[in-house]
Each structure stands twice: as C-alpha cells, then as structure tokens.
Amino acid sequence: MKAPAASGQAPSWLTSSSGLANTPNPAAAVPARPQPWPTPQDYNEALQNLALNCADADLRGGTPELTPLGLPRAITGGFASVYRVRCGGRDWAVRCFLRDVPDQATRYAAIGRHLADAHLPNTIGFDFLPTGVRVRGQWYPILKMEWVAGETLDCWIARQLAEPAALRRLADRWLALLGALRRAGIAHGDLQHGNVLVAGDEPRLIDYDGMFVPTLVGRRGAEAGQRNYQHPRRSEADFGPHLDHFSGWVIYLSLLALSVEPALWQRCGGGDEALLLRRADFDQPATSTILAALNALPDRQLQALLPRFRSLLDQDVANLPPVDDVVARLTSPRVPTLIHRPTAVRLAAATSAASWLPDHLDRPPPVALAVNPRGERWALAGLTTFALVLVALTIGGLFAPLTSGLALAALGFLTLVALLTRYLSLPATRRKLRATAASQRAALRLRWAEYALTTSEWRAAQHAATAEHASVALASARKECTAHERAALAALDQRGEHFAAQRAALDDAEAAALDEALQALRHRLLAGALAMHSVAAADIPGVGARTKLRLLQAGVRTAGDIVTLRAAPTGDSIEIVTPDRGALVLPGIGRKKADSLGAWRRALETEAGISLPGALPPADVAALRQRYEVRRRALARQEIRSASQEARQRAAIERRYHAEQQALVARGTATRDRAKQRRQASAAAVQRHTERVAAARLRLALAQRDRATYAAVTFGRYLRLVLGLA
C-alpha cells in the first residue's frame, strides 16, 4: 500500500474494541459474490458517488481526491487501491481490496484490538468496514485509515542525501521502532520503503495486511513481503514475531551506509524497488557488488555489522537475531574516524563525499607561534635605555618637556610598527593570513553556490507547475473538443428524428383520411336510403294527413330531410333540422307526434345501417393511398438528400474534430517532451549545483579547519613572547 500523505493530525485509534465499524446492514456484510472481485477501474467508478456507494457516515459526505481528468486518484498496489477522501476538516485513506481474503475480517479485528492496547506512536489507527463500498450493486469491505502527512522512505532518503546527520538520526529511530514492535509482540510482515512513511523525521508504518499479533498464532501469512527486503528462505508458512528481523537489518544497513556515502544512492540505483540491497545480493552475496561497496566504507559500526548480516543468509528465518539487539551490544564508536591529511587533500577526488565529509573531519594539531625574540628584546632594551636617558635629560632641563614627549611618542609608535612588521613577516603569520583569506573566499563561494542551487530549485518547481498546468489545460481542451463533437453529431441526429416524425405524421394523416372517407361514404349511403322513404306514404302512428301536409309544406318530404327532431319545451311545436335549410319550427305539432316521427326516423336509420359498408371500396382506398404515397416519395427524396448532406456533414465534423484531437495529442506529446527535457535539465542543474554546494562546503570546512590551527598565532601572543610574559 503506497503512502497516504496529508492531514498531520494525531491518529484516531479504533472506534470500537473489536476494530470493526458499525454498518447500516451488518447482515449483508460479506454476501456471496458470484461476480469477479472489483478492479481498480470498478472502484474508480464507485467512488465517484460516495453518497450512494459508501455505507460509512463520514465517507458518504466526503470527496475523493481527483486526477486532472476528474477521476478519483488511486495509489494501486498488488493487494489494494488506496484513495484519499476529504471529509470536512479531516482526510481519510480508503483502502479498497483487489482480491478476497477469507479470514480478512478476523485478522483485522485481532490486529485492531492489539494495536489499540499497545498504543504504539509509529502505527496508524484504522476501521475495517465489512460493508464498505458498493460496486455493481454488491457491497465489498474497505479499510478506513487516518491520512498521515509524510512521504515514503525512499522519497525521504532521496531528499535528505545532503544531510548525513538526518540519515543517522532516522537510523537510530528505526532501531527504536523495531524494538517497540518486538516488545509489543508485533511483526509488520512487509517492512519496505513503500510501507514506511517519514512524518516529522519519525518513521510510521502503514499497510497491515500481513501483520502478526499474538492472537494470530497458528495461522499462515497473508503475504510473503517485498522480495528485495525479505530473507531468501521466507515463505507464507513463516508467520510469527520474527518476521521483521531480516527486513529490519536491510533498512538499517542501507540508512547507515548512505549516511557515510550518499553517492551510493545513485551508484546502486536506490529508489528503484529497493534502497540499496536487492534479492540478488541475498542469493549470491559472494559476487554482490553492493555488499562489496558497503564493505569498503570507512565506518567501524558498519564493518562490525556486515559480517553478522552475511551470516544471516545461511540461517533459518525463525532464528534471525534482531538488528536493534545486535547494535545495542556493539561497543565500537558510532562515528567513522578519518585519517587526517594536511591541506594536500584533493578536492576533485573528494567531491563525491563532500556532503558528509565536513561532519567527520578530524582536527589537525594546532600550530604554535615559534619565534626567537632575542633580537626584539635587545632592541627593546636599547630603546628603553634611550627613553630613560631622554627623560633624565628632560628633567635636567636640557630638553623641553614637549619636545621630549613628542620624541617618546614617535619612538613608541615606531617601535610598535617595527614589532608589527616583524610579526607579519613570521612564516606562521603569513600562513595564517593565507588560511584566513582562503576561508573568506570559500565562504563567499558557498554563498554563491547556495544561491545558484536555490535558483535552480525554484526554476525546477516553476517548470513542474507549468507542466502540470499545461497537462490540465490539454485535458480540459480534449474534453471540450469531445463535447463539441458530440453536440454537432447530436444536431445531425435530430434531423433524422425530424424525418421519422414526418413519416409518422403521414401515416396518421392517411389513417385519418381513410376513416373520414369511410364515414362520408356511409353518410351518403344512409342519406340516400332515408330519402327513399316518403313521409306522405309512411305509416307513422299518431301522425295523420294534416300533420303530413304541414310537413310537406315545410319541405320535409322524406326521412332524409330530417337530421334531428325535438319538441319545444312548451310542447306545442317541434324543431326539425334539415340537411339543406337548417332548423325549421313547426307550431301545432305536439310532443307525441314528434316522438312518433323521431321513432320512425330512427327505425329507418337502424334498418339502413345494417347494410352500410364497413370499409371503403378498394378503388377509393387505392386512390387515397396513392395521394399519400406521392407525399411519402417526396419526403423520402428529401430524406435521401438530407441523409447524403448529413453524411457529408458528419464526415466533415469527424474529420474536423479528429484533426483537432490529433493536434491536441501532438501538442500534448510535444508539451510532455518539453516538460521532460526541462525536468531532466532542471534535475541535472539541481544535481550539479547540489554537488557544487557540497564541494563548496567541503572547501569551507577544510579552510576553517586549517584556519583554526592558527588560533594561537596572534600579535598579542607575539608581544607576550617578546616581553617574556608567555
């Protein structure tokens, strides 16, 4: 599990004694899963909607850290993917597992209880959530840990190579961590650079998948650990408090060696899945160039530990001694002793060690002020005698006091100048002046080198920020280009939908026209049938000749002349609606006669309706369909022309946006290439200036060391020697 890195708050230990968080539906904690275990892409999709797919109350209201493409940023290893989720003022590391471990919940419950009781400051609190995240409608477990501010061990070492003292301090703290774990009966099981965070110069452990605690005795290991940190004989059958002994040795020796010779990091490929040592060095120690390089380092403690480490490779995993216990028994000095060489040290050859050598330079013997003051003493004696004679003559009145005072002052000044000139001509004084000037020049060069290093680091940071901004801008431009292409193609698709709507409208209109034509035909046939029944000849109950005469006079001759008929509310007249003359009012005809006329009319209509056709004649149907077929063909021609135009436009749109995407891809490639070149140039510049700073520090240390040897060479001491006071 790669390092979480943020927050910086103290660990919040387990929320329950079992180490398991409460879930909304414990009964559904780990249901049967016929589908494959989720992939990192599945978790990416699920974590885009935490409110829907997370059961934990904190995580439901959180927001995952995103990549420039807007996807959750994942740190994926062989066992899990880790996401950073911001929840208000607190950040969490959400660990989503990539494979199923049958006893996972039991292991984490035991680990959580033991860590809560141990209260180790180098471990991180966590909650194991059986119902953690929902993927494809199924719940899967997650590990919710506090997000810790820090960087992985390899990144921290790469940044601290110029500070050997910091590497030594971390090596000491590493021994303290190993001892605390051992006393608590805990073994991490996979100590390696990716599982060790350095936060505030303190190592902290993450990723507890393979951890051993006493309550797990008798089980097999969940993993065998990173091979470049594990004993060649280790397997998953090895599971006990001894698991960290070998990896503890590997990390401690690497820190110790780098504090003596930081250049090993580059020479041995440090940071590439290892610190210094690798599995090949464990399998073939006799031919290992790295072990040979460690054996050549001038550090007595390292030389005392290396033979013990080589002997570990032939022992069983369970019998390995812990490195903190071995170091505690060593009595050799911790700081390497270097043989002093005078100023003939070759700076060019020492540049590779320039970052660590100043802290370990031994002091050369001090230079004493060697001078024979016999001549100076005879001269001072003569000058003193002359001064006494002059004073006596002045008292005797031969010389004026002012004249004699001026003469004595001039004599004293000339004496002081002569002594100072003599002091400056001494070989030791000349060497001191040269050492002082060299120290001042070295200090000035160091200031300029540090300024150049700071400038190169600032430029490297600016280049990195510019590259990140360009990457985000290009990703946004590609998304915008894709959105525009989809919008343009959607507009073309709407044209096809328009023609489909027109075809459907024609079909509906044709069906309505056929129905309307059928109804018109039935109406005509019904009207013709009713017109064949004369009112005068009809036998209508209650309607006599007089009423028929009045109907004939009003123009109502047949049943076809009656569309509707109703009696007036007063009951003394009727209203007849005719096909051609509208409504007629006939007074003097009562309700009963109106009802008889209406019944007669309806009976005739019912009789005629039996023989009315249920469909149009084929010729009429063909003629009607022909009219709509003409309109369909015209619509089809329009659609063909539109489809051809749409195809051309679609091809043009695709060509246009494909060209834009290709241009953006080419621009992105060029931008990445430029960023890579700038990054390499910046890294080379930083490395070059770092080496110059280290060399300048070495020169200054050597110059200050040489200058310090002349601390006893002073004008005051020279005067005391001349006067016989020293």
Residue 169 near residue 255, CB atoms below 8 Å: no
Per residue in 124-148, pLDDT (tens digit) is 888 888 888 999 889 999 988 888 8
* Range list of β-strands (E), 190-318: 196-199, 202-205
The confidence band for 201, taking pLDDT boundaries of 50, 70 and 90, is confident
Between CA 22 and CA 146 the distance in angstroms is 17
pLDDT-derived band of residue 726, with 50, 70 and 90 as boundaries?
low
The residue with tokens 């709509």 is 628
The pLDDT of residue 370 is: 66
* pLDDT at residue 253, rounded to an integer: 94
688-723 burial by CB neighbour count: b if 16+ within 10 A, else e? ebbbbbbbbbbbbbbbbbbbebbeebeeebbbebbe
Residue range 418-463, pLDDT digits in tens: 888 888 888 888 888 888 898 899 899 999 989 998 898 898 888 8
- pLDDT for res 36: 80
pLDDT at 396 over 70: yes
Query: What pLDDT shows up at residue 194?
Result: 87
What band does 349 get if pLDDT is binned at 50, 70 and 90? Answer: very low
> pLDDT per residue over 302-317, tens digit each?
888 998 898 898 888 8
Q: Is the pLDDT assigned to residue 90 strictly greater than 90?
A: no
Asked if residues 565 and 598 have their Cβ atoms less than 8 Å apart, the reply is yes
The predicted structure's pLDDT at residue 33:
45
3-state helix, strand, coil in the chain (%, to 5): 60, 10, 30
Place of tokens 């790669």: 2
Which pLDDT score, from 0 to 100, does residue 364 have? 62
Look up residue 133 and give its DSSP letter: E
Asked if the model's pLDDT at residue 81 lies above 50, the reply is yes
Owner of token pair 């062989």: 78
Q: How far apart are CA 610 and CA 613, in angstroms?
A: 9
* Inter-residue contact 459 to 685 (CB < 8 Å): yes
Can you give the pLDDT at residue 188? 92
The more confident residue out of 240 and 31 is 240
Reduced to 3 states (helix: H, G, I; strand: E, B; else coil), residue 484 is helix
The partner residues of 75 in beta bridges, in order of sequence, read 82
Write out the DSSP string of 202-225.
EEEE---TT-B-GGGTTPPPS---
**Structure tokens, 689:** 């200036």
Residue 538 CA to residue 39 CA, distance in Å, equals 92
With a cut of 90, say whether residue 298 has pLDDT above it.
no
Nearest to 129 by CA among 206, 213, 60, 216: 60
**Predicted local confidence at residue 245, as pLDDT:** 93
The string of pLDDT tens digits covering residues 453-511 is 889 889 888 888 888 888 888 888 989 998 998 888 888 888 778 888 888 898 999 99
Closest to 175 (Cα-Cα) out of 335, 336, 327: 327
At residue 615, the 3 state secondary structure works out as coil
* Higher-scoring residue by pLDDT: 138, 28: 138
Counting residues of the chain whose pLDDT is more than 90, the rounded percentage is 14
The per-residue pLDDT for range 633-662, each reduced to its tens digit, is: 988 898 888 888 888 888 998 899 899 989
Decide if pLDDT at 20 tops 60.
no
Please state the rounded mean pLDDT for residues 398-412: 77
Q: How far apart are CA 655 and CA 649, in angstroms?
A: 10
Tokens of 666: 């080419």
Q: Which residues pair with 575 in a beta bridge?
A: 566, 585
Across the chain, what does the average pLDDT equal? 82
Distance between CA atoms of 667 and 674, rounded to whole angstroms? 10
Cβ neighbours for 141, distance < 8 A, ≥ 6 positions apart: 29, 30, 97, 104, 105, 128, 129, 130, 131, 132
Considering only CA atoms, which of 431, 406, 415, 330 is closest in space to residue 379?
415
State residue 363's pLDDT score: 56
Query: Tokens representing 536?
Result: 């005068």
Q: Examine the pLDDT at 219 and tell me if it is beyond 80.
A: yes
The percentage of residues in the chain with a pLDDT greater than 70, rounded to a whole number, is 89
Whether the per-residue pLDDT at 13 is higher than 50: the answer is: no
- 3-class SS of residue 585: strand
pLDDT attached to residue 231: 93
| Alpha-carbon radius of gyration of the chain | 52
Give the residue, 307 or 200, on which the prediction is more confident: 307
- Residue 249 predicted with pLDDT over 90: yes
Q: Given a cut of 60, is residue 340 above it in pLDDT?
A: no
The span from the CA of 529 to the CA of 522, in Å, is: 10
Residue 25: band (very low, low, confident or very high) from pLDDT cuts 50, 70, 90: very low
Gap between the Cα atoms of 456 and 684, Å rounded = 10
483-494: b (≥16 Cβ within 10 Å) or e:
eebeebbeebee
Report the distance separating Cα 371 and Cα 419, nearest Å: 13
pTM above 0.75, yes or no: no
Backbone angles phi, psi at 512, to 5 degrees: -65, -40
